[in-house]
C-alpha cells in the first residue's frame, strides 16, 4: 500500500463510520489499543468536531428540536458530508437542504415545516460573520455617470448580505428563541428577509416584497432602466444606504 | 533550506494562552495582563470580516503567535500554496511572532479531517516531510515550529521512533520545535513513549515554545481533549523540560468546555511560577514515577 493509499484509507475512515480490513492490517497494537479501536478514536474525534460546529451554527434549530433529536438528525449528515473547507467554522453549508429532504422522509419532522428556512437563516447569519468587508459605494464616480449611460447602470449586491423569502415567520421565531422567549405560534405568510453585516453588527431586516423583487432583479442583472419599468428605482437609495449594494457598472448595450 | 538565523526575533516570554472565541470580547474591552496570545490561524484566513477586525485590534496590544492545523506536513499531496499565501499574509497583518503546525497530515483530496492524523515514521516519510517543510518555509519566508502530536495509532510501516524522526527532520530542514508536554505524557501512557529518551535527545536549542493542556482519561487510554486543567504529571514533565529548555515561552491550550478567562490565566500563572522555580533534573523522572 502506498503512502497516499494509506492516508486515503485513514481519512475516509476518520470521516465516515466504516472500518476497512485492508487498513486495519497496516496497524499494530498500540499499548492497550487494538487496531480497530485506534481507528475508532479518530472517527469519534472527527465526528465530535463536526457535530459541535453544527450545534453552534444551528443553535435555534437545536432549541426547537431538542439537543438529543438534533444530534440524531445530524448524525447521517455528518457521516455523508466530509468537510471540504479548511476552516471548520464553515462546515454545514448544505445542512438546510438536508433538513428539507428529511422533512419528506421523517414523520417526526412533519410539525416543523419551517425548519429548512430557519436553518438557512441561521447559516447565513453565521457565514456572513466571516465574509470580507465591503468597500464603500463610490458616490463620486456615481455622480459623474453620463446621462446617456444612466439607463444602462447595473448594480451589484455586497457579499456581506443575503436575502431570502419564507412561507413562515422564521425571523420572529429566531428572535424569540435568541431572546430566550420561545414562541410556538407559527402563522403562515409570505416573509422576506435580508441578513447583513453593517459596521461590525450582524443584522436581519424584515423587508417588503417590492424590496425583495428589486434585490432579485439586481442579482439577475437588471439595469436602472429595468428598475424604472418596474417602478422600483425609488427603492435603490435604501439599498445603497444599507450597504446592500456595494458597486455599479455600465451594462454593454 | 531556509536560514533560521535570518528570521525576525520577537521578544516574547512567559506563559500565554490560546485565544478562543468566548474570550475575545473580554480581552478587547478589559485588556487583561497576558504576555502573549496564540491563535488558531485556520480560523482567521478570511479576506475580511469581523473575526479579522477583532484579531487586528488584539494584535495592537498583544504579541501573537500563529498555530495551524492545515499545513498537512506529512501529506502525500503537495502543500496547499493558497493556504500558505494566506498564512503569510495574516502573519504580516498581525506581526505574528512565528507560525507553528504539527507533525501530522490533516487533509487529502480536498477533504479535511480537522484532526491531527499520524503517518508512519520511516525514511520515506522523513524524505517527504523534509521536502514539504523546505517548500513551506521558502513560501512563508521563515522557519516554522513543528509540534509533536498525540497519536493513538501504531503503523506496521513505522521504523523510527518519534524523537529519531524529529532530530533528523530538524537537522535536515532547520525548522524549530514546539514541544507539547501533554502530548508527550499522553503518548507515554497510551503508547509507551520513552519520555527520558525523548527529552534528553531533543535538540533543545530548537525548542521555541511549549504547550500545556489537559487530557481526559478514557477506559483504556488518555484522550488529548484540551478540556481540563493541566494534570499533575504534565506539570512535573513541564518542570523537567524547563531544565533543558529554560525560559521557553509556554502556552495554555484549552479548546473544549472552555472555562472563564480567569481560570486560564490562573493556569498560566502556575506555569510562570514553575518556570521561575525550576526543579533539579536528578529527581525521579515522570516516566519512572508514572510507570
Interface of A with B in 93-122 (CB under 8 A): none
Q: 3-class SS at B203? A: coil
**Residues of A with CB below 8 A from B107's CB?**
11, 86
- pLDDT for position A134: 79
Q: How far apart are CA B75 and CA B124, in angstroms?
A: 12
Closest Cα to residue B216, out of A72, A41, A37? A41
A116-150 tens-digit pLDDT: 999 999 999 999 988 887 788 899 998 888 888 88
Task: Average the pLDDT over B17-33 and give the result.
Answer: 96
Closest Cα to residue A163, out of A129, A114, A115, A214? A214
Q: Which residues contact A238 (CB under 8 A, 6 or more apart)?
A: A211
- pLDDT for position B9: 46
Task: Average the pLDDT over A189-214 and give the result.
Answer: 91
Q: How far apart are CA B10 and CA B97, in angstroms?
A: 6
Q: How far apart are CA B206 and CA B100, in angstroms?
A: 13
pLDDT value at A75 more than 70: yes
Q: How far apart are CA B182 and CA B226, in angstroms?
A: 9
- Domains, chain A, ordered by start: 1-93 (no CATH), 131-253 (3.90.930)
- pLDDT for position A186: 60
Q: How far apart are CA A65 and CA A12, in angstroms?
A: 30
Q: How far apart are CA B86 and CA B44, in angstroms?
A: 9
- pLDDT for position A146: 87
Furthest CA-CA distance within chain B: 52
Interface of B with A in 33-72 (CB under 8 A): 42-43, 45-51, 53, 70
Assigned C-alpha cell, A150: 444612466
Q: How many CB atoms lie within 10 A of CB B176?
A: 21
- Domains, chain B, ordered by start: 11-290 (3.20.20.150)
Task: Average the pLDDT over B20-25 and give the result.
Answer: 95
B229-254 tens-digit pLDDT: 999 999 999 999 999 999 999 999 99
pLDDT value at B284 more than 80: no
Helix (H) or strand (E) holding A205, with range, is strand A201-206
Can you say whether the dihedral through the CA atoms of A171, A176, A178, A179 is positive or negative?
A: positive
Q: Which residues contact A235 (CB under 8 A, 6 or more apart)?
A: A210, A211, A214
Q: Are B49 and B23 in contact (CB under 8 A)?
A: no
Q: Are B120 and B173 in contact (CB under 8 A)?
A: no
Assigned C-alpha cell, B46: 478570511
Residues listed for chain A: 253
Higher-confidence position of B140 and B291: B140
**Residues of B with CB below 8 A from A131's CB?**
46, 48-49
Q: How far apart are CA B54 and CA B148, in angstroms?
A: 30
B178-231 tens-digit pLDDT: 999 999 999 999 999 999 999 999 999 999 999 999 999 999 999 999 999 999
Binning pLDDT at 50, 70 and 90, where does residue B277 land?
A: confident
Interface of B with A in 216-235 (CB under 8 A): 220-221, 223
A202-232 tens-digit pLDDT: 999 999 999 999 999 999 999 999 999 999 9
**Residues of B with CB below 8 A from A4's CB?**
76-77, 108
Residues facing B38 on adjacent strands: B18, B65
Binning pLDDT at 50, 70 and 90, where does residue B46 land?
A: confident
pLDDT value at B291 more than 80: no
Q: How far apart are CA A80 and CA B222, in angstroms?
A: 29
Is the CB of residue B108 less than 8 Å away from at least one CB of chain A?
yes
Binning pLDDT at 50, 70 and 90, where does residue B283 land?
A: very low
**Residues of B with CB below 8 A from A89's CB?**
43
Q: How far apart are CA A248 and CA A156, in angstroms?
A: 6
b/e string for B113-144 if b means 16 or more Cβ within 10 A?
A: bbbbbbbbbeeebbebbbebbbebbebbebbb
- pLDDT for position B51: 84
Closest Cα to residue A114, out of A59, A172, A161? A172
For B242-257, the DSSP string reads HHHSTT--EEE---SS
Mutation target to probe the A interface, by most A beta carbons within 10 A, among B20, B68, B114 is B114
pLDDT value at B7 more than 90: no
- pLDDT for position A57: 97
Residue with cell 453620463: A146
Binning pLDDT at 50, 70 and 90, where does residue B280 land?
A: low
Amino acid at each position: 500500500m502506498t503512502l497516499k493509499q494509506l492516508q486515503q484509507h485513514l481519512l475516509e475512515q476518520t470521516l465516515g463510520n466504516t472500518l476497512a480490513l485492508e487498513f486495519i492490517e497496516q496497524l499494530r497494537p498500540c499499548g492497550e489499543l487494538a487496531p480497530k479501536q485506534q481507528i475508532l478514536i479518530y472517527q469519534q474525534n472527527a465526528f465530535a468536531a463536526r457535530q459541535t460546529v453544527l450545534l453552534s451554527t444551528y443553535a435555534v434549530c437545536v432549541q426547537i428540536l431538542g439537543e438529543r433529536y438534533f444530534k440524531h438528525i445530524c448524525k447521517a449528515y455528518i457521516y455523508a458530508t466530509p468537510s471540504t473547507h479548511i476552516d471548520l467554522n464553515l462546515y454545514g453549508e448544505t445542512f438546510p437542504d438536508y433538513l428539507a429532504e428529511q422533512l419528506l422522509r421523517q414523520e417526526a419532522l412533519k410539525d416543523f415545516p419551517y425548519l429548512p428556512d430557519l436553518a438557512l437563516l441561521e447559516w447565513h447569519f453565521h457565514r456572513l460573520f466571516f465574509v470580507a468587508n465591503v468597500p464603500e459605494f463610490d458616490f463620486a464616480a456615481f455622480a459623474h455617470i453620463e446621462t446617456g449611460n444612466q439607463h444602462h447602470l447595473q448594480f451589484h449586491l455586497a457579499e456581506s448580505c443575503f436575502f431570502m423569502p419564507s412561507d413562515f415567520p422564521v425571523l420572529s421565531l429566531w428572535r424569540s428563541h435568541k431572546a430566550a422567549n420561545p414562541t410556538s405560534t407559527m402563522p403562515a405568510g409570505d416573509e422576506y428577509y435580508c441578513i447583513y453585516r453593517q459596521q461590525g453588527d450582524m443584522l436581519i431586516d424584515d423587508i417588503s416584497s417590492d424590496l425583495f423583487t428589486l434585490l432579485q432583479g439586481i442579482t439577475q442583472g437588471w439595469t436602472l432602466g429595468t428598475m424604472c419599468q418596474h417602478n422600483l428605482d425609488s427603492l435603490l437609495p435604501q439599498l445603497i444606504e444599507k450597504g446592500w449594494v456595494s458597486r455599479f457598472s455600465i451594462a454593454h448595450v | 533550506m531556509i536560514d533560521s538565523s535570518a528570521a525576525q526575533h520577537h521578544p516574547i516570554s512567559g506563559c500565554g494562552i490560546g485565544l478562543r472565541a468566548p474570550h475575545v470580547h473580554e480581552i478587547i474591552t478589559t485588556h487583561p495582563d497576558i504576555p502573549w496570545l496564540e491563535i488558531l490561524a485556520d480560523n482567521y484566513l478570511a479576506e475580511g470580516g469581523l473575526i479579522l477586525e477583532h484579531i487586528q485590534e488584539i494584535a495592537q496590544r498583544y504579541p501573537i503567535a500563529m498555530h495551524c492545523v492545515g499545513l498537512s506536513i506529512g501529506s502525500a499531496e503537495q502543500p496547499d500554496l493558497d493556504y500558505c499565501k494566506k498564512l503569510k499574509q495574516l502573519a504580516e497583518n498581525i506581526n505574528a511572532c512565528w507560525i507553528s503546525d504539527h507533525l501530522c497530515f490533516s487533509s487529502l483530496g480536498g477533504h479535511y479531517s480537522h484532526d491531527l492524523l499520524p503517518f508512519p515514521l520511516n525514511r520515506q516519510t522523513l524524505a517527504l516531510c523534509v521536502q514539504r517543510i523546505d517548500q513551506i518555509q521558502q513560501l512563508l519566508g521563515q522557519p516554522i515550529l513543528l509540534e509533536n502530536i498525540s497519536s493513538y495509532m501504531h503503523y506496521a510501516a513505522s521504523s523510527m521512533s518519534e524523537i529519531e524522526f524529529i532530530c533528523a527532520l530538524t537537522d535536515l530542514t532547520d525548522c524549530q520545535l514546539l514541544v507539547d508536554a501533554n502530548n508527550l505524557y499522553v503518548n507515554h501512557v497510551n503508547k509507551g513513549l520513552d519520555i527520558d529518551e525523548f527529552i534528553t535527545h531533543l535538540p533543545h536549542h530548537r525548542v521555541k515554545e511549549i504547550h500545556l493542556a489537559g487530557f481526559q482519561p478514557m477506559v483504556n487510554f488518555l484522550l488529548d481533549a484540551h478540556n481540563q486543567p493541566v494534570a499533575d504529571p504534565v506539570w512535573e514533565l513541564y518542570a523537567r523540560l524547563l531544565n533543558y529548555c529554560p525560559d521557553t515561552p509556554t502556552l495554555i491550550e484549552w479548546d473544549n468546555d472552555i472555562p472563564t478567562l480567569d481560570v486560564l490565566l490562573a493556569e498560566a500563572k502556575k506555569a510562570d511560577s514553575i518556570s521561575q522555580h525550576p526543579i533539579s533534573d536528578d529527581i525521579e523522572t515522570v516516566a519512572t514515577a508514572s510507570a
